Chains A and B, each alone.
Chain A
Amino acid sequence: DQQVKQNSPSLSVQEGRISILNCDYTNSMFDYFLWYKKYPAEGPTFLISISSIKDKNEDGRFTVFLNKSAKHLSLHIVPSQPGDSAVYFCAASSSSSGNTPLVFGKGTRLSVIA
């Protein structure tokens, strides 16, 4: 059973507009969430994270929002740039479940069109 779900396999956005990538999770024990970006032929790179004690974390053009009651998080990229075109993975972990490492979603491919 998938614990972290990214229901949109792909997303296309015009350059300069906002990109919103969504992620849902089922495990209520998750308390730490991350977004990774992946370019072809490279490993995933860490983008931004958020702890469950917060509902928003911002880093430059990237903002992650967490809605614990809905078990939903989203990544906003403003403004979107062509270099943002990549696959984005959502991931989650629980600090209370011992040795459980990060669980990843299936990814969303973002295309930013110039």
Chain B
Amino acid sequence: DAGITQSPRHKVTETGTPVTLRCHQTENHRYMYWYRQDPGHGLRLIHYSYGVKDTDKGEVSDGYSVSRSKTEDFLLTLESATSSQTSVYFCAISEVHVNSPLHFGNGTRLTVT
């Protein structure tokens, strides 16, 4: 698992409530990513971080915000959860940004009812 812990592993929440997912790494890697996996869509990038307090949007960033106050933690927040955000969320890390594999956590399954 390359020292990546995602919490919680499962969460059920109601539409309109805020939700925060946490990714914690012990590898001291600079780059961290949030992807979501949905049937028929594969893995799509939500946001990523290239350093403490440095973040950028990915392909499907609407409705999500992120924060990285420490190298080891990358938080994904759904300010007001919607049913379309029901998905499996994966955090990934890498030492360098290009031409290097990402290493993924085991995911958080989020259900918005």
Query: Could you tell me which A residues sit within 8 Å of B by CB distance?
Result: 6, 31-32, 34, 36, 41-46, 49, 51, 89, 91, 93-95, 99-107
Contact = CB atoms under 8 A, between A and B. Distances in A.
Given A43-B107, A99-B97, A104-B35, 4 more contacts: A43-B106, A46-B101, A100-B98, A104-B43
B97 A46 contact: no
Interface string B22-62: 00000000010101000011111100101000001010000
Contacts of A31: 99
Q: Mostly helix, strand, loop or mixed at chain A's interface?
A: loop
A99 B41 contact: no
Contacts of B99: 31-32, 51, 93, 95
A101 B50 CA distance: 11
A101 B107 CA distance: 19
Contact of B97 (A45, A51, A91, A101): A101
Contacts of A94: 98
A47 to B, nearest CB: 9
Given A44-B43, A89-B42, A107-B42, A101 B33 contact: yes
Nearest to B98: A95
Nearest to B50: A99
A101 B106 contact: no
